[in-house]
Amino acid sequence: MKRLPIGILGSGKGSNCRAILERIRSGDLAAEARVVISDVLDAPILEIAREFFVANAYLPPGQFRTRLEPEAEEELVKMLREAGVDLVVLAGFMRVLHAPMLKAFPRRIINIHPSLTGCTVHYVDEKIDHGQIVAQREVAVLPNDTPETLHARIQIAERELYPAVIAEFCEKCPAPDL
Ligand code: GRF
């Protein structure tokens, strides 16, 4: 069976990562999570990877707050290449990526973020939450919504949309037969 090898990067909670790994485990998503990488040593997303028996690693980000140090970004490319990753999935990764990653994986890095009335999956470029849109989902705003209740509903939509988008990548660019 053809499975798209993916790598997941995240800095925090990992609910999107969990949704993706659950879909893979249940057979709904023809991807193979080769590695989960975090720039935060004790990020729950790494625990989730371990729970699903997926290789996982902490990547020391270096001295900057919003980006990886160039050496760290080169190291990230190396780790993803060694893992044979064809699609890089950002799931709450709190660092802006730059040339090493963008050149190594052109149109092969996607991100999800909450947008005004829902969520957006887009290709990653050098700007925050920017880049060609791949898919969007709307979420209704209810009369009694607070920012928290709306955000919670958006995150439910994210956990539906992201695996669905990855499934499309699996269909469009399947990995070669093993
Ligand atoms: C998500 O809401 C995503 O839109 C944003 O970061 C959050 C990550 O949440 N980019 P989680 O770690 O997947 O739970």
> pLDDT tens digits, residue range 62-88?
999 999 999 999 999 999 999 999 999
| Ligand 1 close to Cβ of residue 15 (< 6 A) | yes
- The residue whose C-alpha atom lies closest to atom 6 belonging to ligand 1 is 92
What distance in angstroms lies between residue 9's CA and the mean position of ligand 1's atoms? 11
Report how far residue 164's alpha carbon sits from residue 157's, in angstroms, rounded to the nearest whole number.
11
Q: Is the dihedral of CA 28, 161, 109, 111 positive or negative?
A: negative
Report how far residue 165's alpha carbon sits from residue 136's, in angstroms, rounded to the nearest whole number.
10
Residue 178's pLDDT band (boundaries 50, 70, 90)? very low
Which pTM was predicted?
0.95
Best residue among 115, 155, 159, 161 to mutate for probing ligand 1, ranked by most atoms within 8 Å of CB:
155
* Residue 51 Cα to chain centre, angstroms: 17
Mean pLDDT, the chain, as a whole number?
95
| Ligand 1 close to Cβ of residue 174 (< 6 A) | no
Structure-block tokens of residue 82: 């060694």
Task: Kindly list the distances between the CA atom of residue 80 and the CA atoms of 45, 83, 109, 139, 163, in Å, as whole numbers in the listed order.
Answer: 17, 5, 12, 33, 20
In percent, the amount of the chain with pLDDT more than 90 equals 90
Q: Quick check: 172 pLDDT over 90?
A: no
Average pLDDT over residues 47-57: 98
Q: Is the dihedral of CA 83, 85, 90, 96 positive or negative?
A: positive
Average pLDDT over residues 18-33: 97
Give the model's pLDDT for residue 175: 53
Average pLDDT over residues 102-115: 96
| Ligand 1 close to Cβ of residue 163 (< 6 A) | no
Catalytic site includes residue 113? yes
